Structure 1
Amino acid sequence: MKESKVMISDANRLGLDYEAEARSLPYGEPIWDVHTHVQSVASAETMLKAMDVYGVEKVWSMSNLEITAELKEIFGDRIEFIAVPNFSQKDEEGTFTTDWWKRIEKFAEIGTKICKFWAAPRGLDFDPMFAIDHPTRRTAMDIARDCGMMFMTHVGDPDTWFATHYKDASKYGTKADHLASLEKMLDEYSDVTWIAAHMAAHPEHLDILQGVLDRHSNLYIDTSATKWMIREWSKHPKELADFCARNEGRVLFGSDIVTNDDNVDFDLYASRYWALRTMWETEYDGPSPIVDPDLTLIEPEKGKKQTAKLLGAGIPNGELDFVYRNAAVDLLSPMYEW
């Protein structure tokens, strides 16, 4: 690890020169990131720089429909979009029903091939319709399926959240409840390909996740949510490597980088790629450079600047080809007219 006089921030507690660090990573082939949130035009060039530095050839982004044309002008064929509701209008009537249904069709008109269904338990604080199996979901799913889209979903959350934010199981359900709802919908829409974001919310329990993959051939997973993934994978890096080898072609690289007008910050974006690539490619054993607020949930007495331990899996380059790019190429390329 190369240390330099870089400004310390929550994205860089170790003072790393992220550009220099990228040059020392062993993997040299292009990477596809299937899970990002490029949410502003102003942040686009900085995101592109992070992509260039870390070898990311292409991203899929959950961006507002209104800025997709401008982003396409900047990124060109290095960006594709994932259909999402207009969350900036979350308090407006119809945002998650009638307007959303129209937006799915408009996203399809610009060539979008993935539709996102966000169903994190905290969505229930806002409206019961955020449950993955709520009737309004089926309307949107039917439209997306008719438009030829596959589905991406966020169901569940970290174990740390169920131990704290979601203690009231009568309100939020259990983690097992949310997984059961996902499996119900995987069966109901068995003719659709699904990508479960954040390893289907089970990086902590790869044995449970394996069972879900074994039961549902239409399910793929992405590796997004850097802080969460690093924290949990580092507890069982060999199990992670074995899991990816067993499920070759069904594990897709994702970062969950969020860019917007308020966080145009190269270190923020690069830190996610550094942490994920260091986890996958090396046998690094040390602190993550990224502040992880979930650690404060569990041990508040240790302060608000805690970082997780990062213990690399050291997966060989040949096996990483599938996680980093080949799985996405095989799954997604047939959907597009490139």
Structure 2
Amino acid sequence: MDLLVETERKFGIEKAILICHSLEIKKYANRKYPDRFIHAKYFSGAFRFSNGVDPLIKEIATLKEEGYHLAKMQSAPMMRGRAATGPDTLRMDGDEMARFFGAMKDEAIPFILHLSDPDTYYETKYTDKKYYSSKERDLRELEGVLSRYNDMSLQIAHFAAQPEIHRL
């Protein structure tokens, strides 16, 4: 974290988003660098497959009082592999995840979503159809979320897929 702050200062960056995987990390960052970070609570994409959305919805309810400003979910395809679940389980654009997004919207929490990866990952790492679908299908799920929650503060990480030049 010291190197991060040192580099930010070198380039005149006064504030940055810090994605916190625990409340303890957030508290440490606040003690060491008060008012330096905009804190994003991290939601594991694999967690939602193994535990459902109810625990996440409970965390959304306390997010602001814990001092977080926004939330981020890493839900790239590798998370399905980690959770050993198929592409139809808990789709991002499905009704169960709608409860999650509805809670985020109700609490007015901005959200960063990492949903997809580069084409080369789909060609080399995401070939087992027991766990993974296609990049096109993942992006259609994203389109479903965007159309359903077009009035929510939502940022898509890495242009939705860390795209190759032909997708820009």
TM-score for the superposition, normalised by structure 1: 0.43
Q: Distance in 2 between matches of 1:130 and 1:117?
A: 14
Amino acid at match of 1:114: L
3-state SS in 1 of match to 2:15: strand
User: Could you say which residue in structure 2 is the equivalent of 1:184?
Assistant: 144
Match of 2:106 among 126, 146, 153: 146
3-state SS in 2 of match to 1:173: coil
3-state SS in 2 of match to 1:186: helix
User: Could you say which residue in structure 2 is the equivalent of 1:136?
Assistant: 96
Query: For residues 210-243 of structure 1, what are the alpha-carbon distances to aligned partners after superposition, in whole Å with 9 as ceiling and x for unaligned?
Result: xxxxxxxxxxxxxxxxxxxxxxxxxxxxxxxxxx
Contact 1:117 1:132 in 2 (8 A): no
Amino acid at match of 2:78: R
Amino acid at match of 1:195: Q
User: Could you say which residue in structure 1 is the equivalent of 2:35?
Assistant: 77
Provide closer, same or farther for how the CA distance between residues 53 and 159 of structure 1 changes in structure 2, counting only shifts above 3 A: same
Provide closer, same or farther for how the CA distance between residues 124 and 135 of structure 1 changes in structure 2, counting only shifts above 3 A: farther
The question of 1:65 aligning with 2:23 is answered yes
Amino acid at match of 1:176: E
User: Could you say which residue in structure 2 is the equivalent of 1:114?
Assistant: 70
User: Could you say which residue in structure 1 is the equivalent of 2:4?
Assistant: 47
Match of 1:198 among 147, 155, 158: 158
Q: Distance in 1 between matches of 2:24 and 2:62?
A: 10
**Structure-to-structure mapping, 1:233-248, within 5 angstroms:** none
- RMSD after superposition: 2.6
Provide closer, same or farther for how the CA distance between residues 130 and 116 of structure 1 changes in structure 2, counting only shifts above 3 A: farther
Corresponding pairs, count: 161
CA shift for structure 1 position 175: 0.8
Amino acid at match of 1:65: L
3-state SS in 1 of match to 2:34: helix
| Structure possessing the higher radius of gyration over alpha carbons | 1
**Structure-to-structure mapping, 1:92-107, within 5 angstroms:** 94=51, 97-107=53-63
Q: Distance in 2 between matches of 1:55 and 1:130?
A: 42
3-state SS in 2 of match to 1:72: helix
CA shift for structure 1 position 192: 0.7
Provide closer, same or farther for how the CA distance between residues 199 and 131 of structure 1 changes in structure 2, counting only shifts above 3 A: same
Q: Distance in 2 between matches of 1:66 and 1:103?
A: 15
Q: Distance in 2 between matches of 1:69 and 1:47?
A: 17
3-state SS in 2 of match to 1:101: helix
Contact 2:118 2:162 in 1 (8 A): yes
User: Could you say which residue in structure 2 is the equivalent of 1:317?
Assistant: none
TM-score for the superposition, normalised by structure 2: 0.80
3-state SS in 1 of match to 2:72: strand
**Structure-to-structure mapping, 1:184-263, within 5 angstroms:** 184-205=144-165, 208-209=167-168
CA shift for structure 1 position 112: 2.9
Q: Distance in 2 between matches of 1:158 and 1:151?
A: 21
Q: Distance in 2 between matches of 1:130 and 1:161?
A: 21
Q: Distance in 1 between matches of 2:106 and 2:67?
A: 14
Q: Distance in 1 between matches of 2:59 and 2:25?
A: 13
CA shift for structure 1 position 51: 1.9
**Structure-to-structure mapping, 1:279-290, within 5 angstroms:** none
Amino acid at match of 1:77: D
Q: Distance in 1 between matches of 2:62 and 2:112?
A: 17
Unpaired runs of 5+ in structure 2? Answer: none
Contact 2:18 2:38 in 1 (8 A): yes
Q: Distance in 2 between matches of 1:131 and 1:55?
A: 40
